[in-house]
Amino acid sequence: MTMGTTTEADDPTLRQAILETLQRIAPEVSPREISPSRPLRDQVDLDSMDWLNFLLGLHARLGVDIPESDYRKLVTLDDLLRYVSAKRRG
């Protein structure tokens, strides 16, 4: 598997799915206020339980299982988009 570098981050459907999953964890978040290139957990108050629930939500919705060793790669929303997109094509 290679990490995508081109257009996956622009997939609006996938972006929407990720943001909706995030909003179920943090309802106060406005998707438009999230900068895709800044660390997500700096912008949204997510503790480790929230993060785990977020990943569980992504798994339920998109069928991706993210190993713990990959957490450190998933810093920004764009990182997540690329990662999930690559995993699904995987």
Partner 1 sequence: MFEFRLPSLGAEMDEGTLLEWKVKPGDVVHKGDVVAVVDTSKSAIDVEIWTEGTIHELVLEPNRKVPVGTVMARLLEPGESVEHAEAEMRALPAGAVSAGAHAAVASVGDAPAAAAPAAAPRAGTAAAAAPSRQRVSPAARLRAQALGLELTGVTGTGPEGAVTLDDVEKAAAAMRPADRAAAAAAVATTPAAAVAPAVAGRALAMRSAIAAAMARSKRDIPHYYLAADIPLVHLQRWLAARNADRPLTGRVLMAVPLLKAVALALRRFPELNGHHVGDAFVPAESIHVGVAISLRQGGLIAPAIHDVDALPIDELMRRLADLVARARALTLRSSEMTDATITVTNLGEQGVELVQGIIYPPQVALVGFGRVTERPWIEDGKVSVAPVVTASLAADHRASDGHRGALFLNELARLLQQPGQLDAGAT
Contact set with partner 1 (CB under 8 A): 26-28, 45, 47-49, 52-53, 55-56, 59, 65-69
Instruction: Find the DSSP H helices in 1-90.
Output: 12-25, 40-43, 48-62, 77-89
d(CA 73, CA 90): 17
Q: Which is nearer to partner 1, 9 or 46 (CB)?
A: 46
d(CA 71, CA 9): 18
Instruction: State the nearest-atom distance from the C-beta of 32 to partner 1, in Å.
Output: 19
Q: Which is nearer to partner 1, 10 or 45 (CB)?
A: 45
Instruction: State the nearest-atom distance from the C-beta of 6 to partner 1, in Å.
Output: 28
Check if the beta carbon of residue 25 is closer than 8 Å to that of residue 54: yes
Instruction: State the nearest-atom distance from the C-beta of 77 to partner 1, in Å.
Output: 19
